[in-house]
């Protein structure tokens, strides 16, 4: 079989077709690699170490002014025990007042509103939160606030006893 001359239209079309196929193949390989690179490095906002601080600060400011948003409620409910140190920072930054203590208690309740939504398992146990409640209890004289602290403590202790992993023998 005779080959068409190199300069002929047939060979030009064959070369154009081969180049087009190669471009398509290269594009598909690159797109696949980029997809796996992006999926493999997907990070959520919750992976950011400053995320709890930002959520608690925003919620503290909102609740202090009498505002409660679904955004704050939803994200605080995911924090659980990791909210306690951030709440402590907010309290420490403000003068000690009954309102700040009540705001802190509201945030504690919001942080444990639905323990099933708490993202990290270690934050389902209120270890830091109990320390925060002890601190609040020691720094308030108001009987009503002390009663709320006691009530929240009992509620969290009851929930944490149900949440503790069972030891197998």
pLDDT in tens, 12-31: 666 777 777 778 877 777 87
Based on the fold, state whether residues 57 and 30 are members of the same structural domain: no
Measured distance between the N- and C-terminal CA atoms of the chain, rounded to whole angstroms: 81
Based on the fold, state whether residues 104 and 158 are members of the same structural domain: yes
| Cα 102 → chain centroid | 24
Based on the fold, state whether residues 105 and 139 are members of the same structural domain: yes
Range of the domain at 65: 47-163
What is the predicted pLDDT for the residue at 8? 53
Nearest CA to 155 out of 109, 119, 111 is that of 109
Q: Point out the least confidently predicted range of 95-99, 107-111, 139-143.
A: 95-99
Based on the fold, state whether residues 25 and 103 are members of the same structural domain: no
- pTM for the whole thing? 0.69
Judged against a pLDDT cut of 50, whether residue 168 lies above it is answered with no
Based on the fold, state whether residues 55 and 116 are members of the same structural domain: yes
Domain count, the chain: 2
Judged against a pLDDT cut of 60, whether residue 163 lies above it is answered with no
| Distance of alpha carbon 108 from alpha carbon 103, whole angstroms | 9
């Amino acid at each position: 079989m005779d080959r068409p001359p190199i300069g002929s239209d047939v060979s030009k079309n064959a070369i154009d077709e081969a180049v087009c196929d190669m471009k398509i193949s290269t594009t598909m390989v690159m797109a696949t690699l980029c997809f796996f690179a992006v999926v493999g490095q997907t990070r959520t906002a919750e992976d950011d170490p400053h995320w709890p601080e930002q959520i608690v600060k925003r919620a503290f400011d909102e609740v202090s002014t009498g505002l409660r948003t679904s955004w704050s409620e939803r994200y605080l409910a995911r924090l659980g025990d990791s909210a306690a140190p951030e709440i402590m920072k907010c309290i420490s930054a403000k003068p000690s007042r009954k309102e700040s203590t009540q705001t802190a208690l509201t945030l504690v309740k919001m942080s444990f509103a639905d323990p099933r939504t708490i993202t990290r398992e270690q934050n389902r146990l209120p270890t830091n939160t109990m320390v925060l409640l002890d601190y609040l209890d020691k720094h308030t004289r108001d009987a009503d606030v002390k009663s709320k602290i006691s009530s929240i403590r009992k509620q969290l202790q009851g929930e944490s006893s149900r949440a503790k992993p069972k030891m197998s023998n």
